[in-house]
Structure 1
Amino acid sequence: MLRKTLPSQRLLKYSVFIAVGFFVLLPAVFLLFGSVWSSPPGRPGDLTASNYVEVCNDPFLGRVLLNTVVFAAGSAFIATALGSTLAFLTTRTDVPFRKAVIYAPILMFAMPSSVESMGWTFLLSPRTGLVNVAYMRLTGLEQPLVDLYTLAGMTLVMGVSLLPVALMITAPTFILFDRSLEEVGRASGSSLPQVYRRIVLPLAMPSIASAFIYCFIVALEAFDTPAIIGIPAGVYVITTTIYTQMVSEVPPRYGSAAAYATLLLVISIMTVMLYNRFSKSADRYSTLTGGTAFGAVLELGKYRPLATLFVLSYLLIHPVPLLTTLAVASVQRFWNPDRLFTNITLDNYEKFFTYPITASALTNSIIVSTSSTALAVAAGFLATYFTVRRPVLGRQAFTTILSIPLAVPPIVLAVGVFWSVLYVDVGIYGTVWALVYAYSLRYTPLVIRFLTGPMMQIHRDLEDSAVVCGGSVFRTMTRITLPLLRGAASTAALYVFIRTITDLGIAVLLVTHQSTVLSTTLFSLWNTGEKLTVVAGGLFYTAVLMVILAAASRLGFRILQTQPR
């Protein structure tokens, strides 16, 4: 059986390793460099610790750090508590509307986080939000039910937004749970809540902890919600502080922003390390064995009405009213909760599509997302192929380097790319290719995770047979391996495309007037007060992505079931 590596294969392997390693490490190196450089990027200066001293002496540092931790932990707690409960009810019990809850994440995956946060402002604004207006009129009180423009309001919105993520992470655990354990509990006289609390919940703890830490990291890295809700309220976290120092302040404080970005990177890496340490003991919670019992779903009995109310409350709080509110707001001449059906117009859609920069933003978005997807999938395929199929010396180090972007928050990656493209001047600063570079770095490791499992299932003898018959490395990959991975690669491509076209955290620091994309255009219009126009554009944006996801689902892609970190 052929196992000898040809010289052309070795050359291709090491060429890929060196090129990918260089482009991955470059932004990390320049991020650290920028945090100790005394001048703006591209200008003469000296190495200094003054940027870190400035951050440490910042009177708002304590408040920013506290806001960041409270926001991330609170959002993760809300998402995990509600999401894991919904996962249990929809996978293990006979609660109604189970399919609706399962398909809700698909709707929310197609909605950009920025558009979702904008929708919440029309629902929960203290004086003009539909929920608060209805509450104050029904109760006669002058205080709103929820003040969106506070740390608590921002945390609540982020927690509800992350609920589908927590649900998807914990649902597989409940699906594979040994039914006999529940039956023993019920036979012993325990009620359903007692079975859940004493048996199911402890054994599902690794999955729940995983969901909490993942949601914590996502909230820690989030920019959209803190920018749209937090900045107007004066509630700053680290991500919005970085944005403010680089974009809003005059002159920009690039060094201080890089120091803040480094601080956020350290916190993110520590969180990932904590999770890895925790996951080492996950085997103590195993319940799936050769004798595992799978049976019918649990009957809720007298608890069914309460569980139904819980499920309906979620459906009537998150997906349904959010989309409905956006649709209603998009056809208003002006926002007035008392005149929702008397000032209807389509002018907002016309204004959005005739806005001077919309056409170029849409074109740039398509170019960026398509190019980033192609590069990420190509790089991910080559990296997976040469680490799984044709391993060489240094494979472990290469895999570690490729994993670095997974621990880097998007806005921190944007800071690193910002400094690197200015110093290594190859003409991409201010163009869409700076975005393509950043997104390719961000999502190549995720593509590798999509492809690694399927790649390991392909027996190597298939490729060796092609080589024996005279096939080159390239011909073997394109004629044998890649066709067999077409499903996994297509799903990875769809995931990357949706993520890149909806992203704001990276784009907001790298775009210029010539390279603006749809997400930054909506954000800029929102900040200038064109809120109803933005809602119309955002709803169109979401509708197109929903059509893409629906078409992908019809073609057999199950993106939300295989989504990795």
Structure 2
Amino acid sequence: MYGLVGATAVLTLLSYPYIFLTVRGSIVNLDPATEEASRGLGYGSWRTFFRVTLPQLKPSIAAGSLLVALYTLSEFGAVALLRYNTFTFAIYQQYEGSIDRSVAAVLSFVLVLMAVVILLLENYTRGRGRYFRSGAGSARKPAIVKLGRWKWAVMTAMGIVLMLALVLPISVLVFWLLRGIGAGEPLLLLWSATRNSLLVSGAAALVTAGMAIAMAVLLVRYPTKLNRILEPISFTGYALPGVVVALALVFFGAQYARPIYQTHWLLIFAYAVLFFPVALGSVRSALMQISPRLEDAARCLGHNPLRVVMRVTLPLMRSGVMMGAALVFLLTMKELPATLILGPLGFKTLATSVWAASSEAFFAQAAAPALMIILMSSVPMTLLVLREKSNLA
């Protein structure tokens, strides 16, 4: 499991939710009338999926794939543990073991160039197609399709993924925890770290979601040459390792923003820089499925642009916004390098607690905060699933 094979397997299991959640948010907003019209013209289920449904999901698939590609470029912990040398690992070694930081700066610049290439490819793949209803009609809930004989095959495939990505890691953590308790190992008190993690993760999710809404409206509803330049620039922060962004903000805070240096505000700003593309991809995909005619109608009724966004646009793109905020919350809960470097003195989160214990090989003490991260991260996703189920009922 070491090297390329192990890193690929682990990163695949770790990052597939980025595409899953983004595409899921788009599927919820799909208009079932388009599929019904396709079948009324004689197309079967498979042909309708490939010719009608799949093209409408192209923005969300491209956005999710972009997040996976950028996340893979910036990942450090998994590839380092699995002994696979990447740009991020080389940058970390240069920062830790060399006084001259020019080599690390050059490697970081190459990493940014690779991210820009990926962004250009995603922009070309997305194209200029329209993904909203162009004719009259009313929104309806999608009909549930029975899988029939394919039910058990699909359930088996889902079970394998859940086993490898969720059950197996949790089982190992529980084993470490019980083994430590049986050996008399003291467990870390997690109340303070849990509170800190929830506060900064929630604040980062709200700030980043607000920024993503503003940027998505600007990019989708007011496309200009300047906006097309700003879009790839906004995504490059996700390709940078957290240690690079954190050290850059340390220099900025110490030199130009001393009132917020070593405060929660600078830490939350770092989270927004790192995870803004996550929220933007989901929010933009949801906005692209909304017809601008609805907003034009609201303006004709006398509403100003801000009121149109608050009363018409935001309610329609609510699922995409909530998915984006949930993804930011999940990523912030487990973010480590920026928290270690930019956090206030004595500020501990669940992620830093795991790092402190595991770096000393105290795996029993690391298991408790790791399990708490999983528990806390599951709360927003559970609420979203229950809310959507109640809406579909």
| Structure 1 segment 161-560 matched on structure 2, within 5 A | 161-168=14-21, 207=58, 212=65, 214-227=67-80, 229-230=81-82, 233=83, 235-246=84-95, 248-249=96-97, 251-280=98-127, 297=146, 299-300=148-149, 309-333=156-180, 345=182, 351-353=187-189, 361-380=193-212, 397=226, 400-401=229-230, 404-408=233-237, 409-411=239-241, 412-444=244-276, 450=283, 453=287, 457-458=294-295, 459-461=298-300, 464=303, 482=310, 485=314, 488=318, 493-504=325-336, 506-511=338-343, 513-554=345-386, 556=387
Q: Tell me the SS of whatever aligns to 1:330.
A: helix
Provide the C-alpha distance between the structure 1 equivalents of 2:43 and 2:171, rounded to a whole number of angstroms: 45
Q: C-alpha offsets along residues 331-376 of structure 1, whole Å, 9 cap, x if unaligned?
A: 212xxxxxxxxxx54966x5211xxxx6664454344334434433
Q: Contact 2:201/2:333 (CA < 8 Å) preserved in 1? A: yes
2:2 maps to 149
Provide the C-alpha distance between the structure 2 equivalents of 1:375 and 1:162, rounded to a whole number of angstroms: 23
State the Cα distance separating 1:273 from its structure 2 match: 0.7
Unaligned residue ranges in structure 1 (runs of 5+): 1-147, 187-194, 334-343, 466-475, 559-565
State the Cα distance separating 1:263 from its structure 2 match: 1.0
Change over 3 Å in CA distance of 1:276–1:523 after alignment to 2: same
Provide the C-alpha distance between the structure 1 equivalents of 2:23 and 2:145, rounded to a whole number of angstroms: 19
Q: Tell me the SS of whatever aligns to 1:529.
A: coil
State the Cα distance separating 1:151 from its structure 2 match: 2.9
Provide the C-alpha distance between the structure 2 equivalents of 1:382 and 1:281, rounded to a whole number of angstroms: 20
Provide the C-alpha distance between the structure 2 equivalents of 1:237 and 1:154, rounded to a whole number of angstroms: 11
Matched letter for residue 187 of structure 2: K
Provide the C-alpha distance between the structure 2 equivalents of 1:508 and 1:455, rounded to a whole number of angstroms: 44
Q: Contact 1:224/1:504 (CA < 8 Å) preserved in 2? A: no
State the Cα distance separating 1:385 from its structure 2 match: 7.1
Change over 3 Å in CA distance of 1:245–1:280 after alignment to 2: same
Provide the C-alpha distance between the structure 1 equivalents of 2:309 and 2:128, rounded to a whole number of angstroms: 35
Q: How many residues align?
A: 359
Provide the C-alpha distance between the structure 1 equivalents of 2:328 and 2:343, rounded to a whole number of angstroms: 19
Q: Please, which of 143, 155, 159 is the counterpart of residue 12 of structure 2? A: 159
Provide the C-alpha distance between the structure 1 equivalents of 2:120 and 2:240, rounded to a whole number of angstroms: 18
Provide the C-alpha distance between the structure 2 equivalents of 1:152 and 1:530, rounded to a whole number of angstroms: 27
State the Cα distance separating 1:226 from its structure 2 match: 1.9
Provide the C-alpha distance between the structure 2 equivalents of 1:494 and 1:542, rounded to a whole number of angstroms: 14
Matched letter for residue 118 of structure 2: T
Q: Contact 2:212/2:279 (CA < 8 Å) preserved in 1? A: yes
Provide the C-alpha distance between the structure 2 equivalents of 1:312 and 1:445, rounded to a whole number of angstroms: 30
Larger mean Cα displacement after TM superposition, 273-282 or 454-463: 454-463
State the Cα distance separating 1:309 from its structure 2 match: 4.4
Provide the C-alpha distance between the structure 2 equivalents of 1:153 and 1:492, rounded to a whole number of angstroms: 28
- For normalisation by structure 2, the TM-score amounts to 0.69
Provide the C-alpha distance between the structure 2 equivalents of 1:158 and 1:538, rounded to a whole number of angstroms: 18
Matched letter for residue 68 of structure 2: C
State the Cα distance separating 1:423 from its structure 2 match: 3.4
Provide the C-alpha distance between the structure 1 equivalents of 2:363 and 2:128, rounded to a whole number of angstroms: 49
State the Cα distance separating 1:395 from its structure 2 match: 6.6
Provide the C-alpha distance between the structure 2 equivalents of 1:296 and 1:383, rounded to a whole number of angstroms: 36
The share of aligned pairs that are identical, in percent, is 17
State the Cα distance separating 1:270 from its structure 2 match: 0.4
Matched letter for residue 237 of structure 1: T
Q: Contact 2:173/2:367 (CA < 8 Å) preserved in 1? A: yes
Matched letter for residue 431 of structure 1: T
Q: C-alpha offsets along residues 363-417 of structure 1, whole Å, 9 cap, x if unaligned?
A: 543443344344334545566677889x7xx975367436523233242533433
Change over 3 Å in CA distance of 1:480–1:271 after alignment to 2: closer
Provide the C-alpha distance between the structure 2 equivalents of 1:277 and 1:270, rounded to a whole number of angstroms: 11
